[in-house]
């Protein structure tokens, strides 16, 4: 599909993508977390860009972070220190885990970019005071952005931004739903590229292309195939090889609980209310990340319901090594799923080094087993 190729081409080289965005007089704001209030950044006239590690060798970051820090945090710091992110005009750090929190300090102390903001979100999301605080923090961030942009962010700006991101989210949900309904309708690596592109590319462009892709996929009919339906759970999954290895093994990913997947895009922001309230409400009500608290069993319930809704034959945990919040949840999530008769597989990854041969074997064994 030629529309999908646009995503592939855009992601090929990040600096080229960045220079095209900058050619439109847009400043680029990077961030590493799916709780980053993209709508506010966009409404300020900036380009929100999710940062991923280029997976280059760690050299300069060795001087700042020990080897037991996760490969995402070390990898992105390496990219920054070695100049690979020099196109950035600023960075935004929403509060997530302990490692990100310290990365934010180190990043700020190195002061490489013009704009810097900590968006210190609440860690618990289930109380009235946390809701009020969320709104306060977003309001403060909006002021920081206005100062940087030298203009006021009006309610109209916000409404337009919300509409834009809603189109992106709605169509990503639609594409996922189609893949779940007709598994194999889109290649895993294509899906990965579309989702990643939607976090990185010009959002006007993304919002134009996604409905076309969704529309095209809707028209495709697939004869039912003998494949296993897989749900993935974890933090980021930044490798197209994982998706193709899964397909070679006879499985299709029909849903995910990833911060580079459904956790990020599911759920619309309400358009008919006060836009700041609506943005806060979406962040409070979305599927939670393990670094946040809603209830002691919220993630287990979410994952079981996601697996059931997608009639998953198995759930694969793709966990980044040294990612504490996910590692703490793994034993109970596995237990919750197994109680429902859903089998699981744990893959511990390092963003830096991926052994695709071994991965393929483990997938095959799992697919045979379920």
Partner 1 sequence: MSDKLSEKRKIKSAKKMRDIMTTYYLDAMTAGQNNKQIAWITSGGPVEPLVAMDIIPIYPENHGAMIGASKMGEDLCIKAEDMGYSSDLCSYARADISCSVVKGGPIGGLPEPDMLICCNNICGTVLKWYEVQARFYNVPLFILDTPICHTRYSPEIAKYVQAQIDEYIAFLEKVTKRKFNYEKMAEVGRLAFEAQLLWQKVLNTTAHKPSPMSAFDAFFFLALIVTLRGTKIAVDFYKELLGEMEQRIKDGISMVPNEKYRLLWDNLPVWYQLKWLSQKFSDHNACLVADTYTSAWCGAIQYTNKDNFIGSIAEAYTRIYLNIGVDQMAGQVLDMIKFYNADGLVMHSNRSCKPYSFGQMDIMKIVREKTNLPVLMIEADMVDPRNFSQSQVETRIDAFMEIIKQKND
- List contacts with partner 1 (CB under 8 A): 63-66, 68-69, 95, 97-99, 101-106, 108-109, 118, 120-124, 127, 129-130, 132-133, 136-137, 140, 290-291, 293, 296-297, 321-322, 324-325, 327-332, 334, 348
Least distance in Å: CB of 11 to partner 1? 30
CB of 172 to partner 1, least distance (A): 28
For the CB of residue 325, give the shortest distance to partner 1 in the complex, in Å.
Answer: 6
Using the minimum distance from each CB to partner 1, give the nearer residue, 74 or 182.
Answer: 74
Comparison of 130 and 245: residue with beta carbon closer to partner 1 = 130
Three-state SS at 245: helix
Min separation Cβ 296 and partner 1, Å: 4
- Nearest distance, CB of residue 235 and partner 1, angstroms: 14
Report how far apart, in Å, the C-alpha atoms of 110 and of each of 1, 61, 80, 222 are: 43, 12, 10, 53
Task: State in Å, rounded, how far the first CA of the chain is from the last one.
Answer: 32
Q: Which is nearer to partner 1, 4 or 36 (CB)?
A: 36
Q: Which is nearer to partner 1, 127 or 365 (CB)?
A: 127
Find out whether 354 and 239 touch, Cβ atoms under 8 Å: yes
Q: Which two tokens stand for residue 78?
A: 């390496």
DSSP letter for each residue of 25-55? T--EEEES-TTS-HHHHHHTT-EEEE-----
Closer to partner 1 by CB, 124 or 311: give it: 124
Give the neighbor-by-neighbor strand order of the sheet with 47-50.
47-50, 28-31, 90-94, 115-119
Residue 52 CA to residue 85 CA, distance in Å, equals: 11
């Amino acid at each position: 599909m030629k529309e999908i190729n646009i995503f592939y081409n855009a992601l090929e080289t990040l600096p080229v993508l960045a220079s095209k965005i900058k050619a439109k007089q847009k400043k680029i704001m990077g961030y590493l977390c799916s709780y980053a209030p993209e709508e506010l950044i966009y409404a300020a006239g900036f380009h929100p860009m999710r940062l991923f590690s280029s997976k280059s060798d760690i050299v300069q970051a060795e001087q700042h972070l020990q080897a037991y820090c996760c490969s995402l945090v070390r990898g992105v710091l390496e990219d920054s220190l070695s100049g690979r992110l020099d196109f950035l005009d600023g960075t935004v750090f929403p509060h997530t885990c302990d490692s990100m929190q310290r990365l934010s300090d180190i990043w700020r102390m190195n002061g490489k970019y013009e704009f810097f903001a900590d968006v210190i979100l609440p860690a618990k999301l289930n109380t009235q005071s946390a809701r009020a605080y969320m709104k306060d923090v977003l309001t403060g961030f909006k002021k920081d952005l206005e100062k940087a942009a030298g203009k006021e962010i009006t309610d109209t700006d916000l409404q337009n931004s919300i509409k834009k991101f809603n189109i992106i989210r709605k169509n990503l949900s639609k594409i996922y739903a189609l893949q779940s309904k007709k598994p194999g309708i889109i290649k895993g690596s294509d899906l990965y590229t579309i989702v990643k592109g939607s976090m990185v590319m010009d959002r006007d462009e993304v919002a134009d292309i996604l409905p076309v892709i969704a529309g095209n996929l809707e028209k495709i009919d697939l004869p039912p195939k003998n494949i296993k339906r897989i749900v993935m759970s974890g933090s980021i999954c930044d490798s197209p090889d994982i998706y193709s290895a899964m397909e070679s093994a006879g499985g299709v990913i029909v849903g995910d609980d990833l911060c580079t997947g459904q956790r990020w895009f599911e759920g619309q922001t309400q358009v008919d209310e006060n836009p700041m309230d609506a943005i806060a409400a979406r962040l409070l009500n979305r599927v939670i990340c393990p670094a946040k608290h809603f209830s002691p069993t919220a993630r287990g319930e979410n994952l079981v319901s996601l697996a059931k809704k997608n009639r998953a034959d198995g759930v694969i945990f793709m966990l980044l090594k040294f990612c504490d919040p996910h590692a703490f949840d793994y034993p109970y999530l596995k237990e919750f799923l197994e109680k429902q008769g859903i089998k699981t597989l744990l893959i511990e990854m390092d963003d830096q080094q991926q052994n695709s041969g071994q991965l393929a074997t483990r997938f095959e064994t799992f697919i045979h087993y379920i």
